[in-house]
Chains A and B, each alone.
Chain A
Amino acid sequence: MRLVDLIVRSGHLSEQAIVGAVMSGERPAHLDRCDLCAERAVELSRWLDEVRVAGVTVADAAFPAERLAAQQAQILRRLEQLDEPARVIAFPSHARLRREANGHRVAAGWLGVAAAAGLVLGVISGQWSARLNRPVTPAQAVQTPASQPAGEAAVEPARPIDASLLDMDLDSLSVPAFAVIDGMTPRATQVAMVSNGSGGK
């Protein structure tokens, strides 16, 4: 008997002591002498039994035999998977290549690389062509006919067409089969002289 029980509880056991006695099964000597405490212990014991039965019933109802059997099967399945060595499934490389060649699947990364490469090439070629096509000076631009490209004008300044040069070119291009037609056709120099003569008048 503890002193505190003696003073505060008139010699009766505390609730904690009764719980301890009931739970551990060790019966204090006081219970043999005190009917009130013995009755408290019996009442607590009955209540605890009732609680245990109710608690176990609820849990067992949630886990009937079928559920436990399914659970055990699931556990064993998981253990089997655990014991099996990891398998690496190798995909045939030619099948993958064929798939890519058919165009069904192109990695997104490669698309990005191709786009970036295209952009870089475009910029470089743009820079390069700009460097080659230097701007023409205004004086040269005035002399250059509108129909001629700027590149040729930069290399050789344009000159007025020489009529004899035209004739020479035509002669060099003469084809024997067309000689008759050629004879009937007036020369450019003649036309030019006629037009110059009329222009002078």
Chain B
Amino acid sequence: MSGASTDPPVSAREADARVAVDVKALQAAGRLEAARERFAELVTRHQRRAARIAFHYLRDAADADEAVQDAFVKAYMHLGTFREELPFEVWFTRILINGCLDRLKARRRRERWIAPPILDSSGNERDAGDYLPSRGPSPEDQVLAEERRAQLNAALAKLPERQRLVFVLSHFEGRSSREVSAMTGLNESTVRVHLFRAIRRLRALLASGAASKASLRGRTNRAAR
């Protein structure tokens, strides 16, 4: 651990720990407004990352928004239980993931009673990412990139939840197996297995999607001729 250093914080982890300790002290002193202001720094620093994780895990922007809010509120409420030897990021991500899991469970319960998921023409479950507004005009490259993103989104949606979570944390967020293990509560070896399976499955899904698109294009070209 690098807690013995008296230098100003050089790493994000140390900066987080320092802010968390300050917020705890301010809460204890009853200076709640100052505590909130200090905590806002943590929110700013981790908000984007949290939104990405929640969005990929929940596959719904509104749900992800609420999950992120809940996670920050919970983190503020239970900051007293935060131990400085653990990175704040790991502690907070665990709160976020647990919240996302609860939301997924609630969603499943709702879907069991209300309505089946909406499927697109190819039988894939539609999600918020498919309906995002496109940015600006659409030259061919942008269209292709958009198409690739949509394919990836659909492929990600087909991954089992744990595989998707491990993949997002490991790959999108660049976390090590140990960190992902701490965030999710899974064994390190389990994390590695989930990651490998997620990559293999994603590649297979994207390859099959590309192949089917290519064959469709070939057929339409032949029909055009």
Assess whether A87 is interfacial by the CB under 8 Å rule: no
Closest to A65 in B: B48
Interface size, chain A (Cβ < 8 Å):
34
Residues of A within 8 A of B153 (CB): 54-55, 58
CB distance from B11 to the nearest CB of A (A): 19
Evaluate contact between A82 and B76: CB separation under 8 angstroms. Answer: yes
A55 to B170, CA, bound (A): 13
A21 to B23, CA, bound (A): 40
Residues of A within 8 A of B182 (CB): none
Residues of B within 8 A of A48 (CB): 171, 199
CB distance from B208 to the nearest CB of A (A): 15
Assess whether A19 is interfacial by the CB under 8 Å rule: yes
Interface residues of B in 161-178 (CB under 8 A from A): 168, 170-172, 176-177
By a beta-carbon cutoff of 8 Å, the part of chain B in contact with chain A is 32-33, 35-36, 39-40, 43-44, 47-48, 51-52, 55-56, 61, 64-65, 68-69, 72-73, 76-77, 128-129, 132-133, 135, 145, 148-149, 152-153, 156, 168, 170-172, 176-177, 192, 195-196, 199-200, 202-203
Assess whether A120 is interfacial by the CB under 8 Å rule: no
Evaluate contact between B47 and A59: CB separation under 8 angstroms. Answer: no
Evaluate contact between B172 and A75: CB separation under 8 angstroms. Answer: no
A61 to B76, CA, bound (A): 27
Closest to B40 in A: A76
Partner of A61, one of B36, B69, B135, B172: B135
Evaluate contact between A71 and B68: CB separation under 8 angstroms. Answer: yes
A39 to B190, CA, bound (A): 27
Assess whether A20 is interfacial by the CB under 8 Å rule: yes
A79 to B172, CA, bound (A): 29
Residues of B within 8 A of A59 (CB): 51-52, 55-56, 129, 172
Residues of B within 8 A of A63 (CB): 48, 51-52, 55, 61, 64-65
Assuming the A-B contacts A72-B43, A72-B47, A75-B73, are A58 and B149 also in contact, with contact meaning beta carbons closer than 8 angstroms in the complex? yes
Partner of A83, one of B32, B48, B69: B32
Evaluate contact between A78 and B73: CB separation under 8 angstroms. Answer: yes
Residues of B within 8 A of A78 (CB): 69, 73
Evaluate contact between A50 and B148: CB separation under 8 angstroms. Answer: yes
Assess whether A67 is interfacial by the CB under 8 Å rule: yes
Assess whether A182 is interfacial by the CB under 8 Å rule: no
Partner of B72, one of A47, A50, A61, A75: A75
A115 to B201, CA, bound (A): 71
A75 to B67, CA, bound (A): 11
Assess whether A68 is interfacial by the CB under 8 Å rule: yes
Partner of B199, one of A19, A62, A83: A19
Assuming the A-B contacts A74-B69, A79-B76, are A62 and B192 also in contact, with contact meaning beta carbons closer than 8 angstroms in the complex? no
Interface residues of A in 19-52 (CB under 8 A from B): 19-20, 23-24, 44, 47-48, 50-52
5 contacts between A and B (CB under 8 A): A55-B156, A59-B55, A72-B44, A82-B73, A83-B32
Assess whether A169 is interfacial by the CB under 8 Å rule: no
Assuming the A-B contacts A47-B203, A68-B51, are A55 and B73 also in contact, with contact meaning beta carbons closer than 8 angstroms in the complex? no
Partner of B40, one of A20, A61, A72, A82: A72
Evaluate contact between B40 and A56: CB separation under 8 angstroms. Answer: no
Assuming the A-B contacts A71-B69, A76-B36, are A20 and B192 also in contact, with contact meaning beta carbons closer than 8 angstroms in the complex? yes
Closest 3 interchain pairs by CB? A59-B52, A83-B32, A62-B61
Closest to B176 in A: A24
